[in-house]
Amino acid sequence: MKDGTLILVVEDDPPIRKFLRASLQTQGYRILEVDKGREALSQTASHVPDMIILDLGLPDMDGLTVIQELRQWFSAPIIVVSARGQERAKVEALDVGADDYLTKPFGVGELLARIRVAFRHSVAARNSDDAQTSELEIGSMRIDLSRRKVTIDGRKIHLTPTEYKLVALLAKNAGKVLTHKALLREVWGPGSLTETQYLRVFMANLRRKLEVDPAQPRYLMTEIGVGYRLVDE
């Protein structure tokens, strides 16, 4: 997804904006740039970009508010880039609707990889709306959604119903970090949003079943203080 792909860059720091422009245009993306939150809302409505790269620290309004207003109607990927390295800021951005989060400074390679993953996830989500996907494949892991079966290299993995729900949810969002709150809400319900230790126990059990070396996981990655990500291969 490149030719004609429009990315809106919302960034008030000219050197960072220049870096993003050069990095993205070299890859064939079309770029639209603004430096304020209100402009971001207006330009998104006018041009409907394929992706937004958004700084949280804008001069006229908080980036979290921008995401909240956009998510009332805008479904394309939003990647947050910010100097706010605190875990709470990452969690808040993801919980209000961001697809991913990069902390400044970051390299071109990491930025482009996150963009590719976000686009792949967006396409997969649209496809699943059009046709019910019955099987997901990530590396050597296969998840048969109709039969609720997980295999790795053809070997069946025996999971409890809750473990299966966790794996299926992460797989449907492969490459995207899901916050503790999002996982707890979707798997255990809204009454369990503070039970992060409960979630940690289940993820440890899953790693023992899915990973060759649970201490060096290939599939289930921890985003410290934020949540978990199933690697998109």
**Per-residue pLDDT tens over the stretch 156-172:** 999 998 999 999 999 88
* Residues 6 or more apart in contact with residue 180 via CB below 8 angstroms: 91, 196, 199, 226, 227
pLDDT in tens, the chain (233 residues): 556 799 999 999 999 999 999 999 999 999 999 999 999 999 999 999 999 999 998 999 999 999 999 998 898 999 999 876 677 888 889 989 999 988 888 899 999 998 998 888 777 666 554 445 678 888 889 998 888 899 998 899 999 989 999 999 998 888 888 999 889 988 888 777 778 888 999 999 999 999 989 889 989 999 888 899 998 76
Residue 76: other Cβ atoms inside 10 A: 18
Nearest partner of 200 among 176, 224, 218, judged by Cα = 224
Please give the domain boundaries of the chain with CATH numbers for all domains.
6-127 (3.40.50.2300), 132-230 (1.10.10.10)
pTM above 0.85, yes or no: no
CA distance 53 to 100: 10
What does the angle CA 54 – CA 119 – CA 36 come to, to the nearest 5 degrees?
15
CA distance 5 to 7: 7
1 CB-contact burial (10 Å; exposed 0-12 / middle 13-18 / buried 19+): middle
